Each structure stands twice: as C-alpha cells, then as structure tokens.
Structure 1
Amino acid sequence: MTLEKRCASGHPRDLPESARNLIKKLEARPESEIMGSEALRVVRLVWPKAFMVSFPKPLKIGIHKDMKRSNCIPAHIIGVALRFFTRIERYLVAIKPGAARIDLNGKVAGKVRLSEAVDAEIKLFRGSSDSCEPVERTRIIISKIRLLAVKKAK
C-alpha cells in the first residue's frame, strides 16, 4: 500500500514532504536497523504537539493505538519512536503524580498515577547510576514491619 493511500484516511491528512521522505526511507528497513532518533523525527513531524523533545509531557496511555489507527506511519517505526522518546531523561522527569497526560493533538487525556511516577523515578535512578562507579550495597532483610496508630494525649 502506498503512503498516500495509507494516510488518506488517517490524521493528519496531508503529511509534510520531509515526513513522507523519511517514512519512505525507513519503512523498508527492519526495526533493528532504525535509529530511535530517526523514528522520533518522523513522529515529531506528524504530531509536533505531542512529541516536544525540549519540553516533553507525559503521553496518553495507549497513544500507540491512536498512532497505529491513523495509518500514517508503519507500526514498527512507531514502536521505535515511542521506546526512544519515553526513555529520554526529560520525559522521565516530567512523569510526576497528577501531571496531565496528552494525546496526539496536545490535549489533556488523563493524569499520571503515583505508581507510574515511581516507575519513572526508578528508571531515572538506574540511568544515572549506570555511569557512576558501582556502589557496594548492604543487603538488609526486614522480617516483620508493624504499623502502630498512636493517639495524642489531650
């Protein structure tokens, strides 16, 4: 199926020439040979409001389905771009509890949950500790934790 036919029913309807050229260049290559930055460049040309690298915002849960439904970009390019974008340090920093998630048009589409923010913090920590010297860690095993409710004396 040609790019023009594939994107005719999708959103956005008319792709910039630069996006069409990049898609043609990348769609024949297997996923393993596509650089994340190349795939992200295509996605940014098609949906610039959702994929701002300098000031990223958390993406809507399931945004990959919306991207595939648009039929503008092959699925394997979408996967590479999303993996690359969601691992950028600035993106992970933006994942804070209660932060607004955005859809492909840059409109609010949900909020970040606490567990998602914690996952992002863990990824940031692991990413920052990879470049440092290994730290020797002491293993602590806690067998029982008791939580007590204490009433204040009046």
Structure 2
Amino acid sequence: MALSEAKKQKQREAKALLEGFWGQAFKFSQPKPLKVGILEDMVEDAKARNLPFDLEIIKAALKLYVHRYLYQKAVRKGSERIGLDGQPAGEITDEQKAYAKTQTKNLDAEQKRRKKASQPQNEAKPDVTQSDA
C-alpha cells in the first residue's frame, strides 16, 4: 500500500528539519544510531539557536526518523551511537540490538501484510471442465 500524501509530506518535513539543522547526526539514506537522550540535546540546541521548533515538533520528527526500517537496522548492526555533532556518544547494548531486531521483523511482517492486502483477491473460479455426455 502506498503512503498517503499527508504521511509523505510529514516525512519530507522531518527530513528537512533534521538534516537541515542537525545534519551531522541525521542522514535519512544512511542513518546511524543516535545517542540516548538526543531529544533533550535537540531541544536545548533549538533554544540556544533561537530556532522556531518546540518539543512537540522535534519529538514528532525524531519519532518518524527512529521508527524507520533503515534506522532500526542500523541499531541492530551497530556498535556505537552518535550525538548531534556526529561524534561517538555511547554504546549499543545487546538488549537494544535485540529490540531493534524485533522491530525490523515486525516492520517486515507489516510490509508483507500491507502488500498482500493491496493485491486483488483471486476470485474462486467455477470448474469449467466439460463432459461429452
């Protein structure tokens, strides 16, 4: 099933916000695991730079970013996290990797379910065998 236009617009806005203001940490095409607590760092930085984004806007953009398949895959395979400056800022625990693995499996299953639901159902066809009676 294709993404709705509204959802696509939210993703474009999140990408512009995150990559535009914090490009050292955010790259939608090649995400890296983020520092635990990065939301608070982003809010502080936005205030310090007088950016017109409040907690809710930043939180919504961050949520779109971290719930993506590529991000969860990066966490699953990664060893360290990065901060807003793109520098190492913590390790990924085995528990976090296991959670990311579960998330990627769930996202795979959801995508398959949506794909199956969007395909036309094969209607039962009557048996058309004819006999020479």
Fold-level similarity (TM above 0.5): yes
Contact 1:57 1:102 in 2 (8 A): yes
Q: How many pairs does the alignment contain?
A: 101
Alignment of 1:134-153 (within 5 A): none
2:99 pairs with 1:124:
no
Tell me what 1:45 maps to.
20
Task: Give the whole-Å Cα distance in 2 for the aligned partners of 1:98 and 1:54.
Answer: 16
For 1:91 and 1:51, how far apart are their aligned partners in 2?
10
**In the alignment, what sits opposite 2:118?**
none
> Unmatched 5+ residue regions in structure 2?
1-8, 114-133
Question: Do 2:33 and 2:81's aligned partners in 1 also have CA atoms closer than 8 Å?
Answer: yes
Q: Give the alignment of 1:26-45 within 5 angstroms.
A: 35-45=10-20
Greater share of residues in helix: 2
Distance 1:91 1:97 in 2: 10
Q: When the two structures are superposed, what TM-score results if normalisation uses the length of structure 1?
A: 0.60
Percent of paired sites with the same residue: 29
Amino acid of the structure 1 residue aligned with 2:87 = K
Contact 1:101–1:108 at 8 Å: present in 2 too?
A: yes
* 1:79 CA drift (Å): 0.7
Instruction: Mark the runs of 5 or more structure 1 residues left unpaired by the alignment.
Output: 1-33, 134-154
How well do the aligned residues superpose, as a CA RMSD in angstroms? 2.0
TM (norm. structure 2) is 0.69
Q: Which has the higher contact order (CA 8 A, sep 6+)?
A: 2
3-state SS of the aligned residue for 2:59? helix
Q: Distance in 2 between matches of 1:54 and 1:35?
A: 16
